[in-house]
Amino acid sequence: QVQLVESGGGLVQAGGSLRVSCTASGRTFSFYTMGWFRQAPGKQREFVAAITWNGYSTYYADSVKGRFTISKDNAKNTVYLEMNSLKPEDTAIYYCAARRGYSSVPYYYTGAYDYWGQGTQVTVSS
């Protein structure tokens, strides 16, 4: 009923930029928060950024603040993560996630989200 599909990953040189996208299908009108997480090999999935349904509030992990920008296009049911000044440590599989309504679990925890995409690989070379 709900599907999230990420795209736009690839190989980028350090200092470069890349934009990944997450397109939602199905009953998406009730989504309250959309988030981006990433997971590197051997590490836990970590929070990257989040945006509220109206796009007015955004949140970023300290590690990406000032370099990454999350945005959304409601007409396309798509959330974007623009990544600038990429570093090798940004290399990971990037996942988008969505949650419906209010949750007592903070937005930066994976447990706050109801739906997940399949992920898109972002590799930053030195």
Q: What is the three-class DSSP state of 73?
A: strand
One digit per residue, the tens of pLDDT, for the chain of length 126 reads 889 999 999 999 999 999 999 999 987 666 789 999 999 999 999 999 999 987 889 999 999 999 999 999 988 989 999 999 999 999 999 999 999 887 789 999 999 999 999 999 999 999
Q: What is the pLDDT of residue 29?
A: 66
Three-state SS letters, 59-100: EECCCCCCCEEEEEEHHHCEEEEEECCCCHHHCEEEEEEEEE
